[in-house]
Amino acid sequence: MKCPFCGYLESKVVDSRPTDEGSTIRRRRECINCSKRFTTYEKIEHLPLFIIKKDGRREVFDSNKIMAGLLKACEKRPVAIKDLEGLVGDVEKTLYNSLEQEITSETIGQMVMERLKELDEVAYVRFASVYRQFKDINTFMKELEKLLNEE
């Protein structure tokens, strides 16, 4: 690792500890040449994951988009941000663990809706109404009836 102070190419690791729930390792290093210390972070590099949209376009996966949709669906609902972050983290982990490089937006939407239904049914219906693009009140009522029949 190149020293940011003197540019020397060798350093020794003084301390290592995990951060971000184990997905990143923080390392304190000391330059062998100038003895100054600096910090580096090591994390797993993910291959890009592409989402195939309904219209056939492809774009790079962005978990922030899922979070934005969930925040809208959960507006004025008693759902903790920590629960939403956990939901997004679970979906993201499942997607990367699938080892697929391209996944349809429909698959992601289904995954989000399944988990959201467990957190808050009102937020689930809100999210589903946008995601499934309910065309009229009858489609909306069918989804509500399906939800009621499951209970």
Write down the pLDDT at residue 47: 79
* Between 133 and 10, residue with greater pLDDT: 10
CA–CA distance, 52 with 124 (Å, rounded to integer): 23
Across residues 42-55, what is the average pLDDT? 86
Write down the pLDDT at residue 111: 94
Write down the pLDDT at residue 151: 67
Tokens 């195939």 map to which residue?
Answer: 52
pLDDT at 135 over 70: no
- Strand segments (E) across the chain: 11-19, 24-31, 37-43, 50-52, 58-60, 102-104
At what angle are helices 121-131 and 137-150 packed, to 10 degrees? 140
What are the residue ranges spanned by the domains of the chain?
Answer: 11-43, 50-150
